[in-house]
A and B are shown apart, each in its own frame.
Chain A
């Protein structure tokens, strides 16, 4: 089981480019018709797209699970938060720096909540966003 020693652990930074073709695939998948997103030169990214960019360009998308020895099949997404500080638009290159900020046992150890916070900066070093994901691990019952 993941314990407090995981708090503070940082994982490999991920750098991703906001490519118009990949963004269109995302928009079409969600049936997104809002013209604000369809400008190939300066379209903003949709509110949840930073989460996708980090996974798309990660060498190892589930690195933090592997590093903490967590089985992917036992993981659920508990909470997700985005704080936006500056626009992210098509053509930008953004870098994600994730780290574990808390580990909490629930229900007498049946579940563990792990919070990973990620600072996001752009190609000019501007701190554009912070994201926070809470992962719920369904722990195996001790046999």
Chain B
């Protein structure tokens, strides 16, 4: 199994991340420019009908992107997309995985299509996505 010569079914992306903390959400608020208070201000989150603050979807996608570029050079990623399937709560311990689902040719380039997931410690899917990488 290798990222350079993958076969269908190969799991070429796999990475685990430390639990989501309030501190991490505060840092991400500043580092990302996404100042939506729903992720850091408990009063605001409750007012909006949530029991607590919760992760930015883009922090979770950032982790998935990190797992992806551990396996594949950033310059080889042609597209990267996700659906945010469920809210990621405080304390979530995330595992990101990517499996080769297709070998294709796109714009004259040999590429692989990856199915990507991010799950929490209970196996609940938080993000379900896809990437096209040039081989």
Contact = CB atoms under 8 A, between A and B. Distances in A.
Report if A and B associate in a common complex.
yes
Interface of A: 22, 25-26, 28-32, 34, 36-37, 44-48, 51-58, 61-62, 72-84, 87, 132
B58 A52 contact: yes
Chain A facing B: main interface SS: mixed
Interface stretch (B3-11, B23-31, B97-105): B23-31
A80 B78 contact: no
Given A78-B84, A79-B84, A36 B73 contact: yes
Q: Summarize B's interface: helix, strand, loop or mixed.
A: helix
A55 B56 CA distance: 14
A79 B36 CA distance: 17
B130 to A, nearest CB: 9
A77 B26 CA distance: 18
B31 A82 contact: no
Contacts of A80: 57-58, 61, 81-82, 84
Contacts of A73: 38, 44, 47-48
